[in-house]
Structure 1
Amino acid sequence: MRVLWASLIALLLAAFPAASQQFTTLKGHGGPVMGIGVNTSTGQVATASFDNSVGLWEGRTPVWLEGHEAAVNTVLFLNDTRLASAADDFSIILWGADGAVTTRLEGHKGKVMDLGVSPDGGTLASASWDGSIGIWSLENGARRFLQGHEAPVNAVSFGHDGRLFSASADGSIRIWDVETGTSRVLINQGFGVNRIVLAPDLSWLAYGAVDGMTRVIDPEEGHALYDFSLDRRPILSLAHHAQTGQLAVGDGHGYIMVIDTQDWRIARDFRAMQRGPVWALAFSADGQNILAAGLSDVVYSWPVALLDTFDPAGQAGRSFLRDPDEMPNGERQFMRKCSICHALTPPPSRKAGPSLYGVFGRKAGALPDYPYSPTLETADITWTDETIDALFDIGPDHYIPGSKMPMQRISAETDRDDLIEYLRKATAIKEN
């Protein structure tokens, strides 16, 4: 009833665009959405997904940008005609206005988790789990890698003066002189720092950490200014809208906290997701809506002014969000180990992995139009009860070394048997 009432309110207020925006959803990705970017000039939205793709949205209609070979973690508008994305395939892609790959930036040796662009628009910085920060010229492609953190780097942000701030799983936030490559530790808070947001005027820096710390500090000296830590962890996403002074915080419990940075108070604390974390956050260009994504393949956009009237998203539930206790064991194993990447329906699919429809008796790497790894394309494997059992018994990285399949093991033989029985029925080709 609350959702219905909120929807009616939103529809009524939609007649007055200056006062409100509507609740909307962006649907079409084949896996969880890991990052959201908003073009502050045009309002256009871009999304980065576990399905290896970037979605570029015109209203609620997507154009799919395909080029990455693994989950895409972040997306960033460089200007009105240029977009950058970074992924688990260790690469960064620069996209043109027509959605074509214009440049692929390579050199990292680990997942690339975040991107930042310099104030003059000429330099891109990348945060990687290889422990380095990539510095890329957007004019000639020249690259450098800054070393200093002792663990994966999760986030980067440029200040208006050209200095770079970075956050790492080593618990530290560093300040870098990009020209010289030198840095100093601003703080070391003990637990990994996942996200940072820097005020445009460099008056404050906000960070969110693994232990649930949500703090605002002085970006020169590192001393604490404000603490908004609650009993929820980890902090997984941050977003700032400078014109309206809103700072949003997303956590592992599915909440979005909105902080008013003009008087530094919690303006709203909203249970956004029925289940799971808030992976990605962004404000609409005008700051009236907040966009968020979690475990499902949907991006939700709520009017900030009406947040308190909505129930958590995802109550209807995608199949992979159902209660495991409601499923037979074979289906439960599939949902836990396979459903994020693989569809059971005939191709095409927007999932990151190939469809499993008709998989029994099919040669590995043989589904038309799917970009398999060279390892799988040349593997002498046919999918049967025995080969699927072996795949999950020792894990893909041992059974087919070099494939793109993530490490997944099912150690109990009875669980593997139940999975195979479920797949036999669920993937069977249906006669017309």
Structure 2
Amino acid sequence: MFLSLFVFDPSSAADFETLKGHGGPVMDITVSRDSGRVATASFDNAVGVWSGREPDWLDGHEAAVKVVRFVNDDLVVSAGDDNALILWNLEDGSQKKLEGHTAKVMGLAVSPDRTMIASASWDAKIGLWPVDGGAPTFLSGHSAGVNKVAFSADGAWLYSASVDGSIILWDVAAKAEKRVIVRNGFGVNVLALGGKNSNETWVAYGSQDGVTRIVDIETGDRLHDFTLERRPILAMSLSEDGKRLATGDGHGFITVFDTESWSIESDFKAALKGPIWALAFSKDGEVLHAGGIEDIVYSWPVAGLGKFDPMAKETPNFLRKPEQMSNGERQFARKCSICHALTEGSARKAGPSLYEVFGRRAGTLPDYPYSKTLTGSDIVWTEETIDQLFLDGPDHFIPGSKMPMQVIAKPEDRTDLVNYLKAAAGSQNKNGETQ
């Protein structure tokens, strides 16, 4: 499969670009260090590799994709809530699943020589995976889930950040812990390594309490602290030349720091609704790609960042105020809308479309990759079975399905949801005709 290079034109900085096509929030963005093309990971269980405005979709994960990285321009690795890594060969279209973690994978890093992938998982372990095959090695040292990993520029060291508030330095060759660099009072969500002339002298991290902190790698001393009373810090990206560091937080702000003076270059309210989950500088450092609660990637020129309109100007259904919806619509918005569409086609959502769901046998929609549990199921979706689904919860009603566990306890809420779906999604009679 041939993928052409998509390059943003800095001369058109009067406008910003958007990449549209995902069916759920954008959880991660990465840029190829070879060509500069963009790959994205989404709650819709898919990876997009963008050639112009039309992506090539990589479908194979069974749950939300939390992170994606280029190994090289023809090889991509992704991971997420299904506990697995997938290696995607963009040249021949093949994929290889890497399994071994027992909880969701939140972070990935590729060694500078591109021979090894490191993974960070909420099973409190770090995986080291040879790119050319072979058994992985798992490193243990954190007492809680691991959020991010990063290789040093020479590939000799690996840094890991954890929910337990620590950053640990690992000797890659020895596959052993060297020392703890940071012990923070709150979980560390993101990290980046920097310094002059590819010689890392500092590590930057963002934590659950909203602090962005820069510490000396050798001593662990705090060099700079930035607390803007916006928590948590959820995304971080360092430009390829190391001169700018960008962070995204739970209040929708993007902050860009000058790493030479450690001054704030811009502090931009980038999302009117929801957090910033994903950030990545373009290869030339002139564009900042961002993703959050919407299914859109926004790409702003870094120069004059605060002059542009923010993302998420319209409130997603699941964030609308309760008084703006009927109870049935409210139940759908809160429980179903992020994963399911009400129109024909899956709309690249994490779950199948609910269009004409009543009277349909579970696991039979042609354009959706169901789990083995639902393929060949004898369940038919009716008022009674949908009610039972939310009374018992998916884990009990359909054990092994991809649907996340959730229960609607009140009978009147389940009834209102069913009635809303009947009105909004339609149904089928025995002849397959819409009722």
TM-score after normalising by structure 1 = 0.92
Change (3 A) 1:290 1:278: same
Tell me how far 1:157 sits from its aligned partner. 0.2
Distance in 1 (alpha carbons) for counterparts of 2:10 and 2:403: 49
Distance in 2 (alpha carbons) for counterparts of 1:324 and 1:300: 28
- Does the Cα contact within 8 Å between 1:86 and 1:92 map onto a contact in 2? yes
Which residue of the partner structure matches residue 67 of structure 1? 60
2:160 partner amino acid? S
Work out whether 1:190 is the aligned partner of 2:185. yes
Distance in 1 (alpha carbons) for counterparts of 2:361 and 2:112: 51
Tell me how far 1:291 sits from its aligned partner. 0.8
Which residue of the partner structure matches residue 425 of structure 2? 427
Which residue of the partner structure matches residue 171 of structure 2? 177
2:69 partner amino acid? L
- Does the Cα contact within 8 Å between 1:91 and 1:108 map onto a contact in 2? yes
User: SS of the counterpart of 1:156?
Assistant: strand
Work out whether 1:148 is the aligned partner of 2:141. yes
- Does the Cα contact within 8 Å between 1:105 and 1:141 map onto a contact in 2? no
Tell me how far 1:227 sits from its aligned partner. 0.4
Change (3 A) 1:15 1:251: closer
Change (3 A) 1:321 1:402: same
User: SS of the counterpart of 1:29?
Assistant: coil
2:234 partner amino acid? L
Change (3 A) 1:102 1:390: closer
1:57 partner amino acid? W
Tell me how far 1:354 sits from its aligned partner. 0.8
- Does the Cα contact within 8 Å between 2:426 and 2:434 map onto a contact in 1? no
1:23 partner amino acid? F
Q: Deviations over 1:230-285 (max 9, x none)?
A: 10111100001042611001000000010110100111100001111101001111
Work out whether 1:381 is the aligned partner of 2:379. yes
Q: Deviations over 1:348-369 (max 9, x none)?
A: 4311111111111222222224
Q: Deviations over 1:108-148 (max 9, x none)?
A: 11111111111221111000111110001112333111111
User: SS of the counterpart of 1:221?
Assistant: coil
Work out whether 1:225 is the aligned partner of 2:223. yes
Greater shift, 377-386 or 228-237, is seen at 377-386
Task: Map residues 38-117 of structure 1 onto 2, 5 A cutoff.
Answer: 38-98=31-91, 100-117=93-110
Change (3 A) 1:88 1:81: same
- Does the Cα contact within 8 Å between 2:21 and 2:295 map onto a contact in 1? yes
Identity %: 56
Tell me how far 1:317 sits from its aligned partner. 4.1
1:153 partner amino acid? V
Work out whether 1:332 is the aligned partner of 2:330. yes
2:180 partner amino acid? V
Which residue of the partner structure matches residue 416 of structure 1? 414
Distance in 2 (alpha carbons) for counterparts of 1:80 and 1:312: 31
Which residue of the partner structure matches residue 163 of structure 1? 157
Distance in 2 (alpha carbons) for counterparts of 1:63 and 1:293: 18
- Does the Cα contact within 8 Å between 1:21 and 1:289 map onto a contact in 2? no
Which residue of the partner structure matches residue 214 of structure 1? 212
Distance in 1 (alpha carbons) for counterparts of 2:42 and 2:162: 22
Which of the numbers 282, 288, 291 marks the counterpart of 2:289? 291
TM-score after normalising by structure 2 = 0.92
Which of the numbers 260, 265, 279 marks the counterpart of 2:258? 260
Distance in 2 (alpha carbons) for counterparts of 1:204 and 1:324: 46
Q: Deviations over 1:84-114 (max 9, x none)?
A: 1112111111112336234221111111111
Distance in 1 (alpha carbons) for counterparts of 2:308 and 2:92: 35
Count, aligned residues: 418
Distance in 2 (alpha carbons) for counterparts of 1:146 and 1:15: 42
Which residue of the partner structure matches residue 238 of structure 1? 236
Which residue of the partner structure matches residue 121 of structure 1? 114
Greater shift, 23-32 or 347-356, is seen at 347-356
Distance in 2 (alpha carbons) for counterparts of 1:409 and 1:343: 20
User: SS of the counterpart of 1:173?
Assistant: strand
1:58 partner amino acid? S
Greater shift, 272-281 or 358-367, is seen at 358-367
Task: Map residues 322-401 of structure 1 onto 2, 5 A cutoff.
Answer: 322-401=320-399
- Does the Cα contact within 8 Å between 2:293 and 2:312 map onto a contact in 1? no
Distance in 2 (alpha carbons) for counterparts of 1:241 and 1:157: 15
Greater shift, 272-281 or 79-88, is seen at 79-88
Distance in 1 (alpha carbons) for counterparts of 2:106 and 2:434: 44
- Does the Cα contact within 8 Å between 1:20 and 1:288 map onto a contact in 2? no
Change (3 A) 1:364 1:308: same
Which of the numbers 270, 280, 283 marks the counterpart of 1:282? 280
- Does the Cα contact within 8 Å between 1:65 and 1:99 map onto a contact in 2? no
1:197 partner amino acid? A
Unaligned runs of 5+ in 2: 1-7, 428-432
Q: Deviations over 1:193-228 (max 9, x none)?
A: 111111142111000111112100111221111001
2:207 partner amino acid? A
Distance in 2 (alpha carbons) for counterparts of 1:147 and 1:318: 39
User: SS of the counterpart of 2:304?
Assistant: helix
Distance in 1 (alpha carbons) for counterparts of 2:370 and 2:240: 43
Q: Deviations over 1:156-178 (max 9, x none)?
A: 00012320000111111100012
Unaligned runs of 5+ in 1: 1-13
User: SS of the counterpart of 2:303?
Assistant: helix
Distance in 2 (alpha carbons) for counterparts of 1:178 and 1:228: 31
Tell me how far 1:380 sits from its aligned partner. 3.4
User: SS of the counterpart of 2:227?
Assistant: coil
Which residue of the partner structure matches residue 6 of structure 1? none
1:251 partner amino acid? D
Which residue of the partner structure matches residue 27 of structure 1? 20
Q: Deviations over 1:304-354 (max 9, x none)?
A: 112221232111344444444311111111111101111111124311111
Distance in 2 (alpha carbons) for counterparts of 1:358 and 1:61: 29
Tell me how far 1:42 sits from its aligned partner. 1.6
